[in-house]
Structure 1
Amino acid sequence: MAKGDATVSYDGPAGGWGSLRGIARIAGKEGVSPGALATLLEQNKPGGFACVSCAWTKPVDHHPVEFCENGAKATLWELTSREATPDVFARHTVTELKTFSDYDLEQLGRLTHPMRYDRASDHYVPCSWDEAFAEIGRELKGMDPKKTVFYTSGRASLETSYCWALFARAYGHNNLPDSSNMCHETTSVTLKKVIGSPVGTVVLDDFKHCDAIFFFGQNTGSNSPRFLHVLQAAVRRGCRIVTFNPVRERGLESMINPQEPTAMVTGHETALSCQYHQVKPGGDIAVLLGLCKHVLAADDAARADGRHVIDRAFIAEHTVGFEEFEARVRAVEWAEIERVSGLTRGAIEAAGAVYVEADKTIGIYGMGLTQHVHGFENISTYVNLLLMKGNIGRQGAGISPVRGHSNVQGQRTVGIAEKPELVPLDRLAEMFDFTPPREKGLNTVEACEGILKGEIDAFIGLGGNFLRAVPEQKAMEEAWPGMRMTVQIATKLNRGHLFNGEVAYLLPCLGRSEMDHLTGKPQVVTMEDSLSCVHGSVGKRTPASEHLKSEIEIVSRIAEAVLPQNPKMPWGQWARDTAMVRDLIEKTYPEQFRDFNARIFTPGGFYRGNSARERHWKTESGKAEFVTPDALSATGYEDAPGRMSLITMRSNDQFNTTVYGYSDRLRGIEGKRDVLLISPREIERHGLTVGERVALVSDAGDGIDRRVGGLEVMPFDLPDGCVGGYYPELNPLVPLSHHDRASKTPAYKSVPVRIERGG
C-alpha cells in the first residue's frame, strides 16, 4: 500500500532489478536448461530468432542483450522442461482439466504428441500424424467451405500465413479471422480510410528527430518494454512525452535501463512523461477535440501577429474536410469536453501547449483507443490533430500504433484478411490456376455469431486461444461443441482446447526458437514488426519432442489432404523450403517484397514502404481526410446511476491470454488475479470495504445475464466512474454486440457493468 492515497501501487521504475528478478523467477519456475538461457542472447538479432512476444522493431545497432522482461518470459515459457505427454492426458479427463486455471493448464508443459479427443472417455488420446491429417481432410472435403473458419494468432510467420490464406481460398472461403480482429482492426480500417495506408507511418529513425511524443492508451512498460530504450534516448535529447491513459502505468512514468550498469548500481531513474493525464475510459475523443481546440486558439493568436501554428499550406494541398472539422471543434464547449474526458481545461491546454511548441510530433497509441464502440473516431480524431500541423509524411513525425503479437501486422500484409478487396485475387488466380472466392469472409465477431447460431461446421485454429479471448465467453463455450470439427495447432494446452467439436484434434507445433528438422537443416521464416520492417528468424534449439512439426508443415499437410492435386501448389516442397514461399510472396506483392530472399537478414529489417509516409494518399479522395466525429465519448453508452465502465487489463506477468505467473509487479499486485480495481472514492461511494468479495454484472441492457463473481475489492488509482480487472477472466462481461462500429473490434476497454455485493 502506498501512503496517503491508500491505494495498491508500485513506486519503483520499469526495468531495473525488478525486471531481472522477474526473468529469473520465470527461468527457475520453468526449469529451463543453461542452453535455453543462451538462446536468449540470439533473440531479436540478425541470424537469430524473432521474439514471439511483442511486435516492437529490432534496431540496426542492437544491444548486447536485445530482449525485454516479457520477451524473455515468452521464450523461457516456450523452452520449459515440462512436457504435456500422453500420460498427462491419460491422468486427467477434459472435464477435470476445465477446473484448472489458465496458468495451471499451460504449466503442464509443452505438447509432445498429436492428440485426438475421445468423447466416450472424455480424454485426449494420442494418434498418428497420418491419422489426424487423413480424418481432417475427409471431414473438410464433406463440408461447405463457407461454413468453416480458419483462425490465425499473431505468432505465425509470413510464410505460414501466406500458405494458410492461400489454402483457405483454394478450399473456397475468405473466413480468415485473426487476432488483429480483437486488437488493432480498428487501426487497419481507420488509417486506410483517412490516410490510405492501414498501418502506421513512423520508422525507428523518426524517434531521433521528434520534439514531442503523445501516448494514448498504450502500456509500453509491460507490452513492449524494448521501446523504453528509444523513449529514454528521446527524452535525454530534449523530447517531451505526454501520456493519456486511465491507468498510471509505470513504464511511461519512470525507468531504469538494465543495460546501463551505472544506473543499475546507483538506482538513477529516467523520468519519461513530462505530463500524465488520467482520462476517463472513452474520453479520448473529447481530449483530442480539446487539444485541437487549443491548437486553433493558438493559431488565431499567432495569425494576429502574422505567424501561424496550423500548417494551412499542407492542409490545402494534401487534405480534405478540414473546414467541417474546424467548425465542429470551435462549436464544442469546454464544459462538455471536461465532463466526458474527466480532465480539466487547464490540463488539456497544458498538453496542447507541448504540441503547439513542438515542430515534429509522433502520435503513439494502443488498444486503449482501438477497443471502443467509437474506436474509429478515436483514431481518426487523433490523425486530425496530427494533420493540423502537417505531422504525417515527414521525418520525426507521424502516427504509430504499437501492435501486440509479433507478426500480427505482417499476416495482414500477406493475405490473412476476410475482406477480398485487400488481397490481389486476380494475381493469385493467375499464379495458382484456381478461382478465388470473392465473397466477404467472417471476422472474429461474425465467426462467433455464426458459431452461436449453429451455422459453423468447423473451426481450425492456427495458434492462439480464441475461445478464451473472445467476448460472450459463457455462451461461446456452450455453443462450441455444436460444431462438427475443431482442430487446434498449438505449443501448449490452453482453456480453448477443452471445448471440442464432435471430431477434435490437438496438433503440437514447434516453437519459433526450435529447429525445423524436416530437412535436417534450420529453416528461415520472417516476421513484420509494428514499424513495417521485415526480419528473418532461425530456430536452432532442439525441439521439445521428436513428434513436433512446424506450423507450415502442418498447414501444408492439411492442404494436401483436402485440396485436389495442383502442380502449381506443391505444398510439400513449400514446407521443406520456405525460400520458395518467399519467392511467391514477392511475386504476389512485388512492390513491397522486392528481392525478398536477399534481404531477410538486413540489419534492422528491410522496410516495405508506406504510401502515406511519402504523402501519397491512397484514399477515396486522393488526399488525407479529416473526419468529423459524431460522438464525444467513445464508450457507446450513456452515464447512468450505478453504471461503471470496466477496463480489462493485462498484468506484467502476462502476454495476451498467456499468464506466466501471478506477479503484476508494476501495479503492486501479487499472488492474485480475481480482483476488482477501484478508486478509494468509488469504494466509499458504493459502500464497499477493501478486501470484500463482489460480483460484476453486465449493464448492457440487452437482457442477458453476464456476471463474474468472487472479485476482491482493491483500492487503485483510477478515474471516477470506472473499474479495472484482468483479461481474459472478465471477458464473460463483454457482449458480442459491444464492438467498434466500423471494424467490429470488441470494445474491451469500456464495458458497462454494475457492482453487486456478496458476489
Structure 2
Amino acid sequence: MSKQPRIEQYDHPAGGWGSVKAVSSILVQEHVAVNGTRVLFKQNKPDGFACVSCSWAKPADPHLFEFCENGAKATAWEITTKRATPEFFDNHTVAALEAWTDIELESQGRLTHPMRYDAATDRYLPIPWQQAFDEIGEKLHGFDPKRVVFYASGRASLETSYMYALLARLYGCNNLPDSSNMCHESTSVALPDTIGVPVGTVTLEDFEHTDCLFFFGHNTGTNAPRMLHPLQEARKRNAQIITFNPLRERGLVSFANPQSPKEMLSAEQTCISTQYHQVKIGGDIAAITGICKSLIEADDQARAANEPRVLDASFIAEHTHGFDAFADAMRAADWKEIESMSALTRSALEAAATEYARAKAVIILYGMGITQHREGVLAVQMLTNLMLLGGNIGKKGAGICPIRGHSNVQGQRTVGITEKPALVPMDKLKELYQFEPPQETGLTTVDTCEALRDGNLDAFIGLGGNFARAIPDHGVMDPAWKKLPLTVQIATKLNRSHIVHGRAAYLLPCIGRIEVDRQASGEQTVTVEDSTACIHASKGMTEPASEHLLSEPAIVAGLAKAILPANPNVDWDAWVGDYGLVREAIERTYPEQFKDFNRRMTQPGGFHRPLPAAKREWKTKTGKANFIVPDGFGEDPDMDFEGERTLRLMTTRGDSQFNTTVYALDDRFRGVYDTRDVLLMNKDDMTRLGFAENDAVTAITVSKDEVLRELGGLRVHAFDIPAGCVMGYYPECNRLIPVSHHAKRSKVPAAKAVPVRLRKMAA
C-alpha cells in the first residue's frame, strides 16, 4: 500500500540521529548493509575513493567517517545489488517506461549490458560492444561535426574527461557542454573579469583562520553536508556566520555532529548562523548592494571624522581598479529600492555590514541560488566587489568560495571540457597530436537545447548524467528528442534521458568510480578535482556490477577508434591499458597545472593547482582586481513579474536527492514526506490568492513568448518563505522554465526566479 503524502514541521538539527537513520535506511534499501558499511570507511580517504556526489574538499587528515548522509546515499546507490538486465528491458517497452517516475527508473539498479534501441519492438536489446562502437562510428561519419554534441556530466574522472575532450576536437567540434553550464558557469564567466581566475580562492586551511563567513544561496545541509564540520569548528571559536537564503535551511540553522558521542547522546547542537536573512528570490544583488553601500558610507563617515578606516584602503589602492566608480554607484543606490527588491530591512543589511567590517578575515560561500539567475554573472561579481572592499582575497582565512555540485565538475573544465576554445591550449594540442583543432566556439547547454528544438542537431553523446531531465522546458524539449537521429548514453543506471531518446539510441554501461578498474597494467587509479582546486586520487574497491561493463576511458577509446581516422600520435589502447599515460598527456598539455602529476596525485589531501589570485596576482586586463559597477538588480525583460497574482518560483533539490537522482520522496529537513508534487508558499500569499492548505493547483509560467508552460497536480503548503515567493522541486518544475530564461553571458538556466501564476484545480 502506498504511503499518503504529508507535510509536518521539522525542528531537529542537521546531522544527528536523523542522518544516522537515513544512512542505515539507504544501505538496507540497496541491499548493501554489510558491504556498504565496509566501503564507506574508505570514502574520501587518501587510500580510498572520492565521493561520487558532491565536490566538497577532502582533508589530508580525515575523520573516521569522512562521508555525509548524501554521500553515503550516493555510494549505496552505486554499489547496489539491484540490476537492470536485458531481461528487464525484454519485459518493458520504452513506451511503458515513459510512464515511470524518475525514482522508479533508477531504482532498477545497475545497467549490465550494452543495449541498442529496436524500433520494431520498442525495446532496448543487447548488442556486442564492438558492434555498438562500429554502428555509432558509421552514423557519425555521415554527420557534420558542428551538429554533434559531446555532453559530459561532472562526475567523469580527469583522465576520462581529457580523452573525451580530445575525441570531440579530433572529430572536429568544440560542442562540449557540461553540467557546469547548468550551475556554476556564471562563476566561470564572472571571476576572470574580477580576480583573473575562474574558480574560488579558498582552501580547507582557510576555514581554520576565518572569523566570519557569509553564505548566499546554498543549502549546505543537503548539498554539501561535510562542510558542516568546519562550520561547527568555526562557530566554536565564535566566528560569525551570516546567511542569505529565501528558506531557513536546517543545515545553516543548527547541526548535531553524528561523529560526536557527546552530541549524539545529549541534546547538544551547534547554532550555525548568527544572522539569517531570508532574502527574496532574485533579491541577492539588492542585498549585496545594501551591504556594500553601508560599508562605503561608514567608511566615508570614518574619514570625515578622522577615525580608522572601515574599508581596506591600502589593499584597494594597491590591488584594485574601478573603486571610485563602484563607490559612487553604491552611494547613489536608493534604500527604498534595495529594501523592496531584497525584502530585507536597511537595519538588517547594516547589521550584516557591521559584522563584515568587524572581521579580520571573511570567507564568502555561495551556490546556485546566486548563479542561476538572469544576472547570475553580476551577482557573483557583486560578491567579489564586497570581498575587495575588505581586502578579503589573497589572505589567510579569507576568500571567495563557489560551492560546486558534481564531484569533478570543476576538474573536467580544467582538462578541456568546454565549448570555449580560448580556454584550451589549442596550440599545445596541435603540437602533441598533429591536427588542426577547431577554433569555432561550441554549443553550451542552452545552445544545445535551442539546436535540438529547432532541428539543428544530428547526434547527442552523453558521458554520464541525465541531460534530458536536467535541462529546462521539458514540454518543448521532450518531443524534440524523438526526432534526433542519434543518442548515445554512457551510464551506470537507467534514467529519463535513456527513455526520451533519438531515433537510433545506444546505452553503454560503464564501471563506476567505486568499482575496481582492471586494465592491462593492473588495477587503475583515477583523479578528480574538488571545489578548492585540489586534485585527489581515487581507487575503486568493489567488484564491477557486471562482467560486461567497460570503464569510461575504454568506452571513450572504443568510440574514438570507431569515429576517427588512425592517428599515430594518439595511442588510445595504451591509454586504456595504463591511465598513468593519460596523466602524462595531461601534464604535457597543462604543465603549470599538473607538474609531476603521477607522483603528486596520491599525497594525502591531494595537491592544489596554482591560483594566482590567492597570491594577489591578478591575471586580468588591468593587471588588478576589478570592481564591477552593477547596471541594475537583475530583472529579465522577457519575463513578466507584474501583477499581484504573479509569484517568483525557485526550483531546488530535496534532502534525499543529488542533482536529478532522487533516492526517496522524503525531504525531511523541510518536513515533506512521500511526495515531491508540492509548492511551498508564504501563508499570507495563500490567503491573499484564495488557496487553502493542500489545495491542488496548476502552475503556469508567465512569459512573453506565448508558449504555454504549465505543471498540474501540485499541492500548496504554507511555509516560511518570503512573500511573493514559492518553492518547487527540481527537476520536476523544470517544465516551467523557458530555455530563453537564462543568465546573461553565462547562459546558465535561470531556475531561481521564474514568474508563475497558480490556478486551483477542480476537486
TM-score (norm 2): 0.98
Letter in 1 for 2:712: G
Partner SS state of residue 478, structure 2: helix
Out of 121-130 and 520-529, give the one that drifted further. 520-529
Corresponding residue number in structure 1 for 2:445 = 444
Report how many aligned residue pairs link the two structures.
Answer: 754
Letter in 2 for 1:676: L
CA contact (8 A) 1:375 1:634 kept: no
Corresponding residue number in structure 2 for 1:493 = 494
Letter in 2 for 1:540: M
Corresponding residue number in structure 2 for 1:625 = 626
Corresponding residue number in structure 2 for 1:247 = 247
Corresponding residue number in structure 2 for 1:126 = 126
Matched, 1:401 2:423: no
Matched, 1:16 2:19: no
1:584 to 1:713, Cα distance in 2 relative to 1, 3 A: same
Matched, 1:662 2:665: yes
Partner SS state of residue 255, structure 1: strand
Q: Distance in 1 between matches of 2:357 and 2:392?
A: 12
Q: Distance in 1 between matches of 2:57 and 2:194?
A: 25
Q: Distance in 1 between matches of 2:201 and 2:518?
A: 38
Tell me by how many angstroms 1:641 deviates.
2.4
Instruction: Note the aligned Cα RMSD (angstroms).
Output: 1.2
Tell me by how many angstroms 1:518 deviates.
3.1
Q: Distance in 1 between matches of 2:9 and 2:288?
A: 28
Letter in 1 for 2:462: G
Corresponding residue number in structure 2 for 1:82 = 82
Give ranges in structure 1 of 5+ residues lacking alignment.
Answer: 1-5
1:702 to 1:265, Cα distance in 2 relative to 1, 3 A: same
CA contact (8 A) 1:377 1:634 kept: no
Corresponding residue number in structure 2 for 1:465 = 466
Letter in 1 for 2:361: K
Corresponding residue number in structure 1 for 2:478 = 477
CA contact (8 A) 1:646 1:724 kept: yes
Corresponding residue number in structure 2 for 1:519 = 520
CA contact (8 A) 1:7 1:679 kept: no
Matched, 1:569 2:570: yes
Q: Distance in 1 between matches of 2:344 and 2:392?
A: 25
CA contact (8 A) 1:7 1:716 kept: no
Partner SS state of residue 95, structure 1: helix
* Aligned positions of 1:239-388 closer than 5 A: 239-303=239-303, 304-388=305-389
Tell me by how many angstroms 1:517 deviates.
2.7
Letter in 1 for 2:105: L
Corresponding residue number in structure 1 for 2:3 = none
Corresponding residue number in structure 2 for 1:233 = 233
Matched, 1:647 2:650: yes
Partner SS state of residue 439, structure 1: coil
Q: Distance in 2 between matches of 1:433 and 1:633?
A: 46
Which of 716, 719, 722 is the matching residue for 2:722? 719
Tell me by how many angstroms 1:474 deviates.
1.4
1:481 to 1:661, Cα distance in 2 relative to 1, 3 A: same
Q: Distance in 1 between matches of 2:258 and 2:635?
A: 38
Tell me by how many angstroms 1:28 deviates.
1.1
Out of 656-665 and 634-643, give the one that drifted further. 634-643
* Aligned positions of 1:19-58 closer than 5 A: 19-32=19-32, 34-58=34-58
Letter in 2 for 1:221: G
TM-score (norm 1): 0.98
Letter in 2 for 1:26: I
Corresponding residue number in structure 1 for 2:558 = 557
1:701 to 1:727, Cα distance in 2 relative to 1, 3 A: same
1:283-327 residue CA offsets vs partner (Å, 9 max, x unmatched): 011111100111012212322133101112211221111111111
Q: Distance in 2 between matches of 1:119 and 1:565?
A: 33
CA contact (8 A) 2:521 2:577 kept: no
Tell me by how many angstroms 1:635 deviates.
5.6
Q: Distance in 1 between matches of 2:648 and 2:89?
A: 40
Out of 91-100 and 614-623, give the one that drifted further. 614-623
Q: Distance in 2 between matches of 1:111 and 1:240?
A: 47
Q: Distance in 2 between matches of 1:612 and 1:321?
A: 17
Matched, 1:754 2:757: yes
Partner SS state of residue 73, structure 1: helix
Q: Distance in 2 between matches of 1:653 and 1:494?
A: 17
CA contact (8 A) 2:15 2:258 kept: yes
Letter in 1 for 2:507: L
Letter in 1 for 2:386: L
Tell me by how many angstroms 1:519 deviates.
3.0
CA contact (8 A) 1:9 1:716 kept: no
Out of 296-305 and 666-675, give the one that drifted further. 296-305
Tell me by how many angstroms 1:345 deviates.
0.7
CA contact (8 A) 2:24 2:33 kept: no
Partner SS state of residue 679, structure 2: strand
Corresponding residue number in structure 1 for 2:690 = 687
1:501-552 residue CA offsets vs partner (Å, 9 max, x unmatched): 2211011111110011333732100000000000000012101100011111
Partner SS state of residue 730, structure 1: helix
Partner SS state of residue 291, structure 1: helix
Q: Distance in 1 between matches of 2:470 and 2:82?
A: 25
Letter in 1 for 2:131: E
Q: Distance in 1 between matches of 2:183 and 2:688?
A: 33
Corresponding residue number in structure 2 for 1:3 = none
Out of 325-334 and 529-538, give the one that drifted further. 325-334
1:243-299 residue CA offsets vs partner (Å, 9 max, x unmatched): 000011000110011111111101200111000000000101111110011101221
Q: Distance in 1 between matches of 2:521 and 2:710?
A: 52
Q: Distance in 2 between matches of 1:130 and 1:283?
A: 53
Tell me by how many angstroms 1:434 deviates.
0.8
CA contact (8 A) 1:152 1:178 kept: yes
Q: Distance in 2 between matches of 1:618 and 1:206?
A: 22
CA contact (8 A) 1:472 1:733 kept: yes
Out of 389-398 and 68-77, give the one that drifted further. 389-398
Tell me by how many angstroms 1:201 deviates.
0.6
Out of 672-681 and 298-307, give the one that drifted further. 298-307
Matched, 1:707 2:688: no
Tell me by how many angstroms 1:640 deviates.
2.8
Letter in 2 for 1:695: T
Give ranges in structure 2 of 5+ residues lacking alignment.
Answer: 1-5
Which of 662, 670, 680 is the matching residue for 1:677? 680
Corresponding residue number in structure 2 for 1:220 = 220
